[in-house]
Chain A
Amino acid sequence: MIDFELTPEEEAAVKVAHKAAEELFRPISRYYDEHEHESPQELIDTLWEKRGEVGMLSLSLAAALGIEELCWGDAGLMLCNPGPSLGGAAVWASGTPEQRDRFLKRFNKGKPKWGAMAMTEAGCGSDTSAITATAVRDGDEWVLNGEKIFVTQGKRALEDSDGIVVVWATVDKSAGRAGMKSFVVEAGTPGMRVEKLEKKLGIRASDTATIIFEDCRIPYENILGSPEVRKLDKTKTAGFQKAMATFDATRPIVAAQALGVGRAALDFVKETLEKEGIEIRYGLPRNKLSALERDVMDMEAHYKAAKLLTLRAIWMLNQGQPNNLEASMAKAKTGLAVTRITQKAVELMGPLGYSRKYLLEKWMRDAKINDIFEGTGQINMLIVARRVLGYSRDQLK
């Protein structure tokens, strides 16, 4: 039965997260944008204490809605939120029960911890099959070597806490995609170091690390999924499927993050207009609307379109339905929508939009990442295209 009503639990999750966004995130938003690489320790401690309440540990609809609210507060600060995050999602999606227990239990107790995902390398971004980091078996251990960049919360996961990072590496270069596997590396493992933190256009509160692995030894049991290099067919390989399973779960969540930034800008525009006594007259024919009203309605409609696609993808995930197509649809649409919404908002607000006195210009910078990370808009379009055409990656490059 088609229904758009939130459950009381979901309503409550939205409320709690929105309150946190208003009271904890917004007041320090500008400071941490201007003090990149400084850690918002107080916020981190508070969020860690409240983590049950905000419900960050699951991929439920309530969690996604909460994430949207927190990103409405500040997307960069939301990413500082301690928890299993993308690394945890990978363990959750493709780990054994024993692995889930061993790696995720830590997120329920003790001091703040982070889970990170290390996939990108200097020479490969979207083309994850070109990964050069290696994992070689040596008895009861894997030996990891390579350099990973753009690891979100990499430093916090490995240096500031007893966290985990999920590292993608090849066990057999000649096997291509089939040789690609993911491994869980725990904080404090010798042979691994954080080399540097990036300086970014936006989401500056979030740390983006380069991590170097030099003969980094981890237990054999830390591989996620099967160690076997199976060539089932050219397009479907076990290792790659695991990666995709993770993306199907994380892309809608990342889309929810994007929605929060887009709505922050949209709300700012609407509130400013309201203060000026300018009303958006829904329902009027186009020829009666001002260009400003048209623009605002257009922004709202695109936000709504993106939000519903995102909710559908998350709903399918929680229903246990395959959502590869829908997750990519949501991610592609949302990344682009919020990029355009925030840019349009800066344009519409004139001097208020461009000034650092307000947060709007920051939201425009923050929003752009959503069209890039967790699969660029183009990569997601490519996935959607392959799906709707029934093409393999060889048929549509």
Chain B
Amino acid sequence: MISFSPSEEQQMIVNVVKQFATDEMRKVYREADESGEIPARIIDAAWGLGFISSSIPEEHGGAGSEHSTITGSLLAEELAWGDLSMAMHTLCPTLVVLPILEMGTEEQKRKYLPAFCREKYKAATAALMEPRFNFDPYSLSTTARLDGGNYLLNGEKCYVPLAADADLLLVYATDNGSNQGFILEKGASGLEIGAPEKNMGIKALSTYELALKDCRIPRENRLGGKIGCDFNRIMNCSRVALSAMAVGVARAAFEYSRDYAKERVAFGEPIAARQAIAFMLAEMAIEVDATRLMTWEAAWKLDRKEDATKEASLVKMYADDMAVTVTDRAVQILGGHGYIREHPVELWLRNGRGFAAFDGMAIVYKEIQHYD
């Protein structure tokens, strides 16, 4: 039965996170962007809300509620509305927790999940992207080769968030032609973590390049053991999460520019009273809503364990474009003030621009399309 209404529990989560984003994240986002650092208390407080441990089974120390991608989308939107860097930092451990939860072996769950149910934030991350313009997640250059009882990993990765602090690192590599995940623990031999990357936006989130040189890990550290993982499903979950965050960033920009347009007076009336501005805002509102509904639909399919490749990639592509358009319009509505770092809209534009670059969507070189 079609319904667009979140459950009471979901609405409660949304309210709590919205409050947290307003009271905490929005107070420090500018300073964090300028300094490249997120105050630890914010991350700890976000962790304390218990969103990650809640879906870990009781036997592994969590609250044992069923993981819902829809709830995850609602949560991600609100966090990203607060600040994208902090949202990504907060949710970064899910890049390891969710694949282990859904696809890990019993031993992997037993070994790795309890650490995420403790009070203190536990950094963990995943390495997927590789530093080349035509990166394609379905043809990775990083390789995993069996050598006796071990896997040897070789390759280069980039945009790996929190790599320097992470206790666990899930590296995606091609293993006899199929993409698989490999669980690395901190300090694995042959793992070299580069200097923090400098990016246009999401500056408070530290990301790194990695080099894997004959990095040796035990055979049982392959995600899902012999069966392996469903790489496509992991990609689709990531697409949905990123789309939800794009909605959050765009909504922030829409709301701010809407309020500004009602305050700012030109030629004797608020600029919002002019159709040129009002129509931009109307379009922003429509696109934010449309993208949210598409995100929900893809999430719903994932929760039903159906193949959501089409829905997830369509919404991701749509959300990438929407985030840029909406945040750009917000800067435009503020005019010169939008360009100044006293207002947040320039930050949202820089952050919004990032979505297309993540998750293998290396749009920077979009012009280089080949015609089959």
Contacts and interface: CB of A to CB of B under 8 A. Distances in A.
Interface in A283-321: 283-292, 294, 297-298, 300-302, 304-306, 308-309, 311-312, 315-316
A282 B258 contact: no
Interface residues of A, number: 52
A397 B275 CA distance: 8
Q: Which of A2, A285, A312 has the most CB of B within 10 A?
A: A2
Contact of A288 (B136, B291, B301, B311): B136
A244 interface: no
Contact of B2 (A61, A306, A332): A61
Interface stretch (B141-149, B156-164, B177-185, B364-372): B364-372
A385 to B, nearest CB: 4
A282 B232 CA distance: 11
Contact of B275 (A284, A288, A305, A382): A382
B183 to A, nearest CB: 24
The binding surface of chain A is classed by DSSP as helix
B2 A5 contact: yes
B227 interface: no
B278 interface: yes
Nearest to B280: A385
Contacts of A10: 2
A285 B360 contact: yes
B1 A5 contact: yes
Contact of A283 (B138, B279, B289, B294): B138
B5 A2 contact: yes
B2 A286 contact: no
Contacts of B293: 305, 308-309, 312
Contacts of B318: 301-302, 304-305
Contact of B235 (A283, A301, A378, A382): A283
Contact of B300 (A2, A326, A381, A384): A2
A287 B366 contact: yes
Contact of A333 (B1, B272, B286): B286
Contact of B363 (A6, A286, A308, A385): A286
A396 interface: yes
B314 A304 contact: yes
A332 B284 CA distance: 12
Contact of B134 (A287, A292, A301, A396): A287
A2 B300 CA distance: 8
Contacts of B309: 282-283
Contacts of B279: 378, 381-382, 385
B366 A3 contact: no
A31 interface: no
B265 interface: no
Q: Which of A3, A300, A385, A386 has the most CB of B within 10 A?
A: A385
B70 A2 contact: yes
Interface in A1-18: 1-7, 10
A301 B294 contact: yes
Contacts of A301: 294, 314-315, 317-318
Contacts of B294: 301, 304-305, 308
Contacts of A282: 309-310, 313-314
Contacts, number: 164
Nearest to A378: B279
A329 interface: yes
A232 interface: no
A385 B2 contact: no
A391 interface: yes
Contacts of B315: 301, 304
Contact of B232 (A7, A283, A391): A283
A397 B277 CA distance: 12
A311 B273 contact: no
Interface residues of B, number: 62
Interface in B265-301: 272-273, 275, 278-279, 281-283, 285-287, 289-291, 293-294, 296-297, 300-301
Contacts of B176: none
B283 A381 contact: yes
A96 B371 CA distance: 61
Contact of A297 (B4, B281, B317, B371): B317
Nearest to A61: B2
A396 B363 contact: no
B35 interface: no
Q: Which of A287, A305, A391 has the most CB of B within 10 A?
A: A287
A287 B138 contact: no
Contacts of B300: 2-4
B1 A7 contact: yes
B51 interface: no
A2 B296 contact: yes
A297 B136 CA distance: 18
Contacts of B138: 283-284
A378 B296 CA distance: 28
A388 B258 contact: yes
B281 A389 contact: yes
Nearest to B278: A385
A41 interface: no
Contacts of B372: 278, 290
A391 B312 CA distance: 36
B198 interface: no
B278 A306 contact: no
A174 interface: no
Contacts of B314: 282, 297, 300-301, 304
A389 B278 contact: yes
A332 B314 CA distance: 21
A282 B313 CA distance: 6
Nearest to B232: A283
19 contacts: A1-B6, A2-B6, A2-B10, A3-B1, A286-B363, A287-B133, A287-B366, A288-B134, A304-B294, A304-B318, A305-B287, A309-B290, A332-B286, A378-B279, A386-B278, A388-B285, A389-B278, A391-B278, A395-B273
| 6 interchain residue pairs of minimum CB distance | A305-B290, A308-B293, A385-B278, A384-B282, A385-B282, A301-B318
Given A4-B301, A397-B275, 13 more contacts: A2-B300, A6-B2, A278-B372, A282-B310, A285-B134, A285-B135, A286-B356, A286-B361, A301-B314, A301-B317, A304-B315, A305-B290, A305-B318
Interface of A: 1-7, 10, 61, 278, 282-292, 294, 297-298, 300-302, 304-306, 308-309, 311-312, 315-316, 326, 329, 332-333, 378, 381-382, 384-386, 388-389, 391, 395-397
